[in-house]
Structure 1
Amino acid sequence: MSLRSIRNHSADRSAGHHAARYASIAVILSLAACSGDKKTINDLEAHVPPVETLYNNGIDALRDQRYALSAAEFDVLQQNYPYSAYVANAQLMGGYAYYLQDKYPEAVQQLDRFLELHPTSPDAAYAFYLRALCYYEQIAEVRRDQQGTVEAMNALEEVITRFPQSPYARDAQLKVDLCRDHLAGKEMLVGRYYEQQRAYQSAVNRYQRVVQDFQTTNHVPEALERLVEVYLDLGLTDQARRSASVLSYNYPGSKWYRDAYDKLRSKHLLAANSPVPGSVPDKSPASPADDAKPLAKAPPPPSQTPQARRGFFSRAWHSVF
């Protein structure tokens, strides 16, 4: 039965149907209240409502923003009716309900189950996208380990690779750019620490990685200026001039080129053709976040959209130093 027919049918529910709904809620709430009890699902089978009732209850709870109850309804449905035609939708909607509670591991578990059993579903693109957002929402602050950022970027790139023409691909690409900017920020943080500790070779390695591997991020101008700074401290004047040359060509109007220019001038190391800062138009590429509208929560699944929607926006991650 389609969602539309289910929704039409739900308008004509009988008093007995409502009683079953309330019985289902009572069972679920009692399970939540007695989570320490060792009751099995077999003990409660006599009280479990029909599969259609469970599914409608889950949709209604989702619409009413009662996300914990919605997820519980879909869980009970899957546990008691594993071969029902409603299971696929229950997995997808359950994943969305967990996502809206910020219970990302539980959401990923539901979505992985859906994708494993229904890889060719019309909703597979959405499931991959929502799964990627679960990783994205868990990205740690830049001073912490960034393995989560790598996992989020990989999951987002999978959306782009698998579904390049889907409505989710563009948002996924924006978030990939933000992930890369976050990873570059981590490299800069570590590089600055090494530089302060006078571990110059380690600092150079970090700054060079930003320039080589994260060329589209807004950390590149600073990385080039830091290279000028470190090379000057090491007495490697040719390398310092080369880094400044790259900086002047790509970011002539930036504060980082002005700093590099001043350092070279103070040591009488300016090349004859070194442009004065700001003397030519700034050709620096736009920051990945410049046209990225901040996103906060994913949209609901396209084929089972509840009335109450969250916006199709998500927060942009910014490095804090």
Structure 2
Amino acid sequence: MALNILKRTARLSAIALVSISLLAGCSVFGKKKEVNEFAGWSVDKIYNNARDEMTNKDYKRASELLEATIAQYPFSAESVQAQLELPYVFWKDDERAKALAAADRFIALNGSHPKIDYVYYLKGLINFNQNVSYLATLTGEKLNDRDPKAAKDSFDAFKTLVEKFPNSRYAKDSRERMRYLVNTMAQHEAAVAQYYLERDAYVAAINRSQEVLRNYDGTPATEDALIIMAKSYDGMQMNDMRDDTISVLKKNYPNSTMKLKRTSKSWLQLLGMRSDRKKAQVEVPAPQ
């Protein structure tokens, strides 16, 4: 009987050993080895294929080929050109975050490149389009907890471009977009202030209005900011402050009716832009 038990135990051990071996084999052989599709390709072949895919508007495939150019031939002229084109290709493939990251990498690695101004311009436009999308859906009900980061980032990129490259082919358009973005950011602050005013949060309304006067004085939102401050002081029965604010308002805006914009529309519409965000967005140009 003892012999039978030993035989049965040995048989079970053997089965367990085989099972473990099979499992181990599955984990080893089941793991696919990554194959470099572009191994052995010349730099010309990879890069030219990338250009072909860009022409064909297959931007996902183009990005793979550009990344392969950079990875396999990092010190080639084609690699630098691929780095320049990659942000644009990512953007066309609706990969905004990757596009901005690729643009930042290019700036960090190729700060003296003759087309660096284009990359700053591209960054500005990508964030500008994001800002348009943000404004297209933004109404007064959604303003209090939103930060127009894309507008700020877009403004910073355009500002860097015009300061570093005042004679760039992109400088004039960048300046015009900066003016629009300043008005956008000012209007956002005024809209948040109005949001608080409509909810009788007078101190918060005054604080946001003061942000407009402090950072965006002279923009169209300045009048709204002063009106909101006057109404807030009135709500708190601070009559002297109310009257002083109205005095400043009348001096700077003698025709003011003391009426605020309605916030039921999107702020894209209130700023006079088309409500169709696709039409309002600008086309990002390819590197030239």
Q: In 2, distance between residues paired with 1:39 and 1:68?
A: 23
SS at match of 1:165: coil
Q: In 2, distance between residues paired with 1:106 and 1:189?
A: 31
Q: In 2, distance between residues paired with 1:59 and 1:52?
A: 10
Q: Tell me which residue corresponds to 2:257.
A: 258
Select the structure with the greater relative contact order (CA < 8 A; seq sep ≥ 6): 2
Shift of 1:195: 2.1
Q: Tell me which residue corresponds to 2:182.
A: 180
1:82 aligns with 2:60: no
Shift of 1:200: 1.7
Q: Tell me which residue corresponds to 1:158.
A: 160
Q: Tell me which residue corresponds to 1:149.
A: 151
Q: Tell me which residue corresponds to 2:243.
A: 241
Task: Show CA shifts across 1:92-126 (max 9, x none).
Answer: 11221112223122122322232222211111111
Contact 1:178–1:289 at 8 Å: present in 2 too?
no
Q: Give the direction of change, closer, same or farther, for the CA distance of 1:100–1:44 in structure 2 (3 Å limit).
A: closer
Q: Give the direction of change, closer, same or farther, for the CA distance of 1:288–1:138 in structure 2 (3 Å limit).
A: closer
Structure number with bigger Rg: 2
Structure 1 runs of 4+ aligned residues shifted over 6 Å read 287-290
Q: In 2, distance between residues paired with 1:145 and 1:38?
A: 45
Q: In 1, distance between residues paired with 2:242 and 2:252?
A: 16
Q: In 2, distance between residues paired with 1:216 and 1:61?
A: 48
Q: In 1, distance between residues paired with 2:109 and 2:232?
A: 54
Contact 1:225–1:259 at 8 Å: present in 2 too?
yes
Q: In 1, distance between residues paired with 2:164 and 2:272?
A: 24
Q: CA RMSD in A?
A: 2.8
- Give me the TM-score of the superposition, normalised by structure 2: 0.70
Letter in 2 for 1:205: N
Contact 1:191–1:203 at 8 Å: present in 2 too?
yes
Q: Tell me which residue corresponds to 2:104.
A: 112
Alignment of 1:34-73 (within 5 A): 39-40=33-34, 43-44=36-37, 46=39, 48-73=40-65
Q: In 1, distance between residues paired with 2:88 and 2:201?
A: 47
Q: In 2, distance between residues paired with 1:299 and 1:129?
A: 9
Task: Select which of 227, 231, 234 maps to 1:232.
Answer: 234
Alignment of 1:299-318 (within 5 A): 299-302=285-288
- Give me the TM-score of the superposition, normalised by structure 1: 0.64
Q: In 2, distance between residues paired with 1:76 and 1:112?
A: 19
Q: Give the direction of change, closer, same or farther, for the CA distance of 1:68–1:195 in structure 2 (3 Å limit).
A: same
Task: Count residues in correspondence.
Answer: 233
Q: In 1, distance between residues paired with 2:237 and 2:223?
A: 21
Question: Which has the larger helix fraction?
Answer: 2
Contact 1:55–1:90 at 8 Å: present in 2 too?
yes
